[in-house]
Amino acid sequence: MEKPGKLLIGRRRFMLAAAAAPLATTLPFAQAAPHDPLPSWRNGTAKKAIMDFVGTVTNTESKEYVEPENRIAVFDNDGTLWSEQPLYFQLYFMIAQLKEASPRHPEWKNDPVFNALMTGDVNAIVKQGVKPALELLAVANAGMTTEEYGRKIDDWIHFARHPRFNRPYTDLVYQPMRELLAYFKANWFKNFIVSGGGIEFMRAWARHAYDIPPEHVIGSSIKVEFAMKDGQPVLNRLPKLDFIDDGAGKPVGIYRNIGQRPIAAFGNSDGDLQMLQWTAGGKGARLLGLIHHTDRQREWAYDRGSPIGLLDKALDEAYAKGWTVVDMARDWSRIYRFE
């Protein structure tokens, strides 16, 4: 015979279960909503292309399955991962460095590149190209150790503010691209920055902004040399360019630093065209993405004819070959994290 206490508990459970039974038959079965890895991307062709591609290359039963060690994704920086208007952000850093160094270089007063940078003449700066500006910066910081230069970058990134938004420049990283980088990483992709900007400049903050380690940053570089300073081994910056990682230099930089062709590439300008073409030339599934700046209210709208981020030939080729063109106004519900 059961003890009275145990019997009472059993009856109580039965009555509670009986009372809940009608609810169980009338309420739908609750299911957890599926996780969206790209919440700042609106549903559309761009988001679908990205997710279909990842689903294909990570599915072991797919004919286009790609082993994790071969899942290489490359991204331009300016205009692709963060904004680039009204000037490439590194140019603001260069201007600050050149102003600081100018008393030691009176000859710069007659230099058209220096004068264009000091006056913010965008058309003149772009007409000269990135090489003369980098050469000036190399001279300005010649003899500085890589650690000393890194501290200057850290200080600038911490204190400088964007002229339109009055925020640190790293606040102008695109939230949808943060999500894309994280989505790729979660699926065992290795993400690389491939930019015409200075490699040391980007390496200083890429881990914080993008979760990309410094060894995964490929960019334009200055020559350095080993030296002993106060009994300590250092690397000194020299007043000479080493490599320009822009245009046709991007595939070269990828090959030198990665040693294999990517399966995914994202850019936003004609300077990224050769990187996209080289990525597209491989076998198997490929994802080629082009960020099209179409949102004048939240960011900027520009493409053909723009002195910064010119997008002309690459846009034509993207449409002709069926690459994924990301329309910023249409495809992104949110541009910056602070919105």
Give the model confidence (pLDDT) of 214-259 as tens digits: 999 999 999 999 999 999 999 999 999 999 999 999 999 999 999 9
Whether residue 235 lies inside any domain: the answer is yes
Let me know: does 173 contact 209? Beta carbons within 8 Å. yes
Please state whether the predicted TM-score (pTM) of the whole model is above 0.85: yes
Residue partners of 171: CB distance under 8 A and separation at least 6 = 162, 165, 336, 337, 338
Which residue in the block uniquely carries the two structure tokens 């994802």? 287
Question: Mean pLDDT over all residues of the chain?
Answer: 92
Give the C-alpha separation, 308 to 26, whole Å: 60
Give the C-alpha separation, 261 to 158, whole Å: 35
Q: Identify the CA nearest to 100 among candidates 145, 137, 132, 134.
A: 137
Could you tell me the residue range of the domain that residue 185 belongs to? 45-85+170-331
Whether residue 268 lies inside any domain: the answer is yes
Whether residue 136 lies inside any domain: the answer is no
Residue 49, φ and ψ in degrees, nearest 5? -60, -40
Give the C-alpha separation, 45 to 49, whole Å: 6
Whether residue 158 lies inside any domain: the answer is no
Cβ count within 10 A of residue 149: 22
Whether residue 226 lies inside any domain: the answer is yes
Q: Identify the CA nearest to 52 among candidates 329, 311, 289.
A: 289
Q: Give pairs for 314-323: CB < 8 Å, separation 24+.
A: 314/267, 314/269, 314/270, 314/272, 314/273, 314/276, 314/290, 315/290, 317/273, 317/276, 317/277, 318/276, 318/288, 318/290, 321/280, 321/288, 323/276, 323/280, 323/288, 323/289, 323/290
Collect the ranges in the chain with pLDDT lower than 70: 1-33
pLDDT at residue 33 in the model: 61
pLDDT at residue 192 in the model: 99
Q: What is the DSSP letter of 244?
A: -
Whether residue 321 lies inside any domain: the answer is yes
Whether residue 176 lies inside any domain: the answer is yes
Q: What is the CATH number of the domain that holds 262?
A: 3.40.50.1000
Whether residue 98 lies inside any domain: the answer is no
Which residue in the block uniquely carries the two structure tokens 């994790």? 68
pLDDT (tens digit per residue) in 171-203: 999 999 999 999 999 999 999 999 999 999 999
pLDDT at residue 120 in the model: 86
Number of structural domains the chain divides into: 1
pLDDT at residue 129 in the model: 79
pLDDT at residue 130 in the model: 79
Q: Identify the CA nearest to 173 among candidates 338, 26, 4.
A: 338
Let me know: does 301 contact 80? Beta carbons within 8 Å. no
Residue 328, φ and ψ in degrees, nearest 5? -60, -45
pLDDT (tens digit per residue) in 307-327: 999 999 999 999 999 999 999
